Amino acid sequence: MNTRAIGGLITGLAMVVMGGQAHAAIDGTIDCSGVSGCTLYAEAGFVNTPDGNEIYGWGFSDVAGKLRYPGPTIDATMGETVTVSLTNNLPDPDGAGPKGVDPVSIVFAGQTGVTYSVDGGTTFQPVVPALGATGHKESLTSMAPEAAAGQTVIYQFTPTRPGTYYYNSGTFQHKHVDMGLVGAMVIRSGLVSAGGSGRPLAYTTEDSAYDVEYLQFTSSIDPDQHRRVERGLDYEASAYQPNYFFVNGRNYPDTLSGANAFYLPNQPDSALLGIYPGERALFRTVNVDRLVHPMHHHANHARIVALNGHEMTSGFEPGRADLAVDRFSHATNSGQTVDSIFAWCDGGGDPFAAVPCADGGAAKFGWDVYGNDAAHPVPVVTPPAFDNPNIAFNYGEAYSGSPYLGKKGMLPGDVQSISINQHGEHYMVFHSHFEYELENAGQRPGGMLTVIMICMPGEACAGHDPLTNLPIQ
């Protein structure tokens, strides 16, 4: 196995647990509100993978001359004007050859009333698909007005409903989406819980209230097709065969490193998740590529409260997402977004109750079979390595040595590992349930895999600064 994969797991977890940047909000957001809005650049560059590969790609960036994969998350509020200027900085793939620079556009999924300007914002017109000279639908060239090489087009709209969405190039979508011209978009409701907790509402009902939020942006890459584009050859969509799978633009174990990791200059967003017992975590899952990704989280089910920016409510129970469903896995289809609420309790209590994890007694952070006695020793018996008795155990780096949250202990003597666990936190895997998506070009473990940290109150966690006032009874 590549040494970076082993070292990346240990270094990545240690960096984050020991208190890297707190990111209670989603990493890599960009404010595009108002008439001045923001500027995105279509750029080319390289994406790094844990096996040492560099893959050529395109992407939307908020910094001219620098690739960003995926594009920054557009963060806006319902009812406020959003303005996005797009400048096309893509290179000419074959120099003086016949191809020329691809034009680029942006479509904003789930948004209506989008307008555009090509005169610097002086006049705006409704966005309509671009057709060829004949004007027939068979001559469709783009889903939105384009920016040619070196040119700028401005888009403007006012979101009318909250939710999790995405944006992508509307030109040559079979090629541009796969090449990386994609990004997430979060439209906030501006509402807070009426229950006194002050939690923001992702939508309009109390069922969408959350304490901390995370983006899980899933995608995949076929490096052979990207190499063809780099060399000025045709992109063969029918031959698409991805073997790299990403969460927030990273493959495991790079998914565990903190935001803005120095060795991932074009992939700044972390994919590590962290919560405290009783917290409601909002997972915003976005799938922009052509594959289905069945995302599965260990430790508890999640409650799906919205699909494609539509809250799971019938309207017959005011203030409730009465159509919400609990799932241990959710198959995120191509072009779909899923909003789910995840919480963790141990030793009883309902994580989705008004007062999470309340069971009439004290909060429990251990195993009920031992009466919740954190001082009670729990024997760990390691089986022999039947295939080769001379091989020593070398796993368990993330284990604290104790099954009790917030407690530290010694690893069994025959486990030849050094625990990097800092505060007795637990780690739960969150990954695609398609086995082939858990590798990096055939090397395992890798791909679409990350972890959820369960942290003891008062200690630093992946998602935010230490908390001491959790809603636990």
| pLDDT tens column, 16-44 | 433 333 335 688 999 999 999 999 999 99
Q: Is the pTM of this model over 0.85?
A: yes
Decide: 427 and 403 in contact? Cβ < 8 Å.
no
Which tops the pLDDT comparison, 426 or 104? 104
Residue 373: predicted pLDDT: 62
Helix, strand, coil percentages (3-state) for the chain, rounded to 5, are: 10, 30, 60
Backbone region of residue 100 per phi and psi (left: phi > 0; alpha: psi in -120 to 50; beta: other values): left
Q: What is the DSSP string of 233-247?
A: PPP-GGG----EEEE
| Residues above pLDDT 70, as percent of the chain | 78
Q: How far is CA 283 from CA 6, 166, 296, 452, in A?
A: 27, 15, 12, 11
- Domain ranges (residues) in the chain: 3-368+406-454
pLDDT reported for residue 411: 75
Q: What is the arithmetic mean of pLDDT over 264-282?
A: 92
The whole-number pLDDT of residue 414 equals 66
Cβ–Cβ < 8 Å for 305, 197:
no
Average pLDDT taken over every residue of the chain: 84
User: What's the Cα-to-Cα distance from 61 to each of 84, 268, 289, 367, 469, rounded to whole Å?
Assistant: 12, 11, 19, 47, 38
Residue 303 — very low, low, confident or very high, per pLDDT cuts 50/70/90? very high
Going by pLDDT thresholds of 50, 70 and 90, the confidence category of residue 467 is very low
Higher per-residue confidence, 355 vs 186: 186
Instruction: Reply yes or no on whether the pLDDT at 383 is more than 90.
Output: no
- Residue 405 vs residue 445, higher pLDDT: 445
> From 3.30.465.10, 2.60.40.10, 3.90.1150.10, 2.60.40.420, which CATH number describes the 3-368+406-454 domain?
2.60.40.420
Residue with the bigger pLDDT between 218 and 420: it is: 218
Mean pLDDT of 295-302: 87
Instruction: With beta carbons less than 8 A apart as the criterion, state whether 449 and 429 touch.
Output: yes
Q: What is the pLDDT of residue 380?
A: 67
Residue with tokens 């007795």: 424
pLDDT, mean of residues 361-379: 54
